Amino acid sequence: MLHTDKPNYLAIPVILLQLVFSCPVLAYLKQAKLVASDANASDRLGVSVAIDGQTAVVGAYQNDSNGPDAGAAYVYEFSGSAWQQHQKLVASDASAGDQFGRSVAIEANTIVVGAHYGDANDPNTGSAYVFTRSGTVWNQQQKLAALDAATDDRFGMSVSISGDTLVVGAYGDDRQTGAAYVFTRNDQIWTQLQKLTTSDANTGDFFGWSAAINANIIAVGAMNDDHYNPPINTDAGTVYIFTRSGQIWSQQAILRASDAADSDHFGCSVALDGNFAVIGAYECDINGVPNVGAAYVFEKNYTGWVEKQKLFDADTPNNGDDFGKSVAIEGDTIFAGCVNHIVDGNQVGAVFEFTRTGQTWFQKDLLIAGDGNDDDNFGFSIAVSGQYLFSGAPYNDAAGLNSGSAYVFKNDDLTCDLDGDSDIDFADFAVFALAWLATPAQPAYNPDCDLAIPPDSLINSLDLAVLCDFWLAGK
């Protein structure tokens, strides 16, 4: 028998013909389901998620390690082949009921965790904790509280960071009128720079329920704001845009849905990227169906902020879907969480993916947990960075009732372009053919061709199936 290490190129066309008519079109593929190593019932892991590169943080705001509902946050890192729990974060002064982990944010070597029921000065004033990475370990660096903290402010309900600036929402400030606080970092110390309020503030607006920062733009949601321009819309919701000039942040714009209605809760979630803002309105009615939910896309141009499009589930809208409960945007891709989306007769939740072609956003895919159960609330929180999307399911029963979990999806659109020309075509198959059936010990092995999820250090039909899928999809 003849033995050779030379790849069998003739096998590829045969397998390709078999795959062309059998493989589904893929986009984001589920890579992992994350459960805390010390998970218990009612922890609600996944109530918040954030990711930057290959490090993610997931909140479990009812974890009981330091007392009932004291809360925790878990750091996960991608090891090269899998996402693994790296560290559990808790507040140095944790106490029962703080709900540390209700909000999380991460950028580079900094993590921010909100504890909106923390008792910084008075009951339920709220706090935010900053952790920094030294080597491989995350250490608490600072505890943040509002300079004018008062009972029931709920400071820490939302957190967002960009460079040396972070914003913290306190929706309970001044009888739930709400506020947002801007902090800046200098010599590793965070100092409150400014308190943001609105030009038309009213009691019960919930300004600060959601917040996002991107460079010199801050967006803050007031999901219970009433619109007093006829017609009067109660709890319709508003998002306020602030911009920075020097060290001062000023209100620049007021964003409202063009078709605003009572109880839409526009501003329950908000995300920024470049000149785009995406805003959730989770109880918006769609085509006469109540409380389906929607997400609105706004773009900043030379005239100001303009509503561009309303995104929603056009195929299967159902009462109480809560589409837009969470939103995320990166580049030309928008994600919207729909926590009560029905899959196989159960309200397990889903994440809708939209991509932009020209000036229009089209639904590209629907991401589901695959192992979900009724009332998991998959899509309650979402975050995206590069190839990876995280989605929380805080009511999933992976380790007990409502213990919670987080799901990781990987976008292989970015890995199948093997020749780097931003297109998937026969040139990529040529690159793939050179590595066909090669092992890491052989010179022909190319790790970029190990496309299977998870990678298995083999270049075979599993990898070819992924490459074929994206070629057929015209990516």
* Per-residue pLDDT of the chain in tens (475 residues, 90 and over written 9): 444 455 555 555 555 544 444 443 346 888 999 999 999 999 999 999 999 999 999 999 999 999 999 999 999 999 888 999 999 999 999 999 999 999 999 999 999 999 999 987 778 999 999 999 999 999 999 999 999 999 999 999 999 999 999 999 999 999 999 999 999 999 999 999 999 999 999 999 999 999 999 999 999 999 999 998 777 899 999 999 999 999 999 999 999 999 999 999 999 999 999 999 999 999 999 999 999 999 999 999 999 999 999 999 988 899 999 999 999 999 999 999 999 999 989 999 999 999 998 899 999 899 999 998 999 999 999 999 999 999 999 999 999 999 999 999 998 655 677 887 767 788 889 999 999 999 999 999 998 888 876 678 899 988 888 788 777 555 4
Strands 276-281 and 266-273: antiparallel
The encoded tokens of residue 340 equal 């009560």
* Stretch (H or E) spanning 470: helix 461-472
d(CA 350, CA 344): 12
Dihedral angle sign, alpha carbons of residues 49, 184, 211, 66: positive
Instruction: Map out the domains of the chain with their CATH numbers.
Output: 11-24+418-472 (no CATH), 35-414 (2.130.10.130)
pLDDT for the residue 1: 42
d(CA 157, CA 335) in angstroms, rounded, equals 21
Rounded CA Rg of the chain: 23
Longest dimension (CA), the chain: 86
Tell me what pLDDT residue 425 has.
Answer: 81
For residue 113, CA distances in Å to 130, 152, 169, 356 come to 7, 18, 12, 32
| pTM for this model (two decimals) | 0.84
Question: What is the rounded distance in angstroms from the CA atom of residue 17 to the CA atom of residue 20?
Answer: 5
CA distances to 33, 253, 291, 335 from 409, in Å? 9, 35, 28, 12
pLDDT for the residue 415: 61
Side-chain-facing half-sphere of 410: CA atoms under 13 Å: 19
Residue 122 and residue 106: Cα distance in Å, rounded?
27
Residue 258 neighbours by CB under 8 Å, 6+ apart:
307
The burial class, CB within 10 Å (0-12 / 13-18 / 19+), for 455 is: middle
Structure token digits, residue 261: 């209605």
- Residue 289: the pLDDT is 94
Please tell me the predicted confidence (pLDDT) of residue 12: 56
Residue 246, H or E segment: none
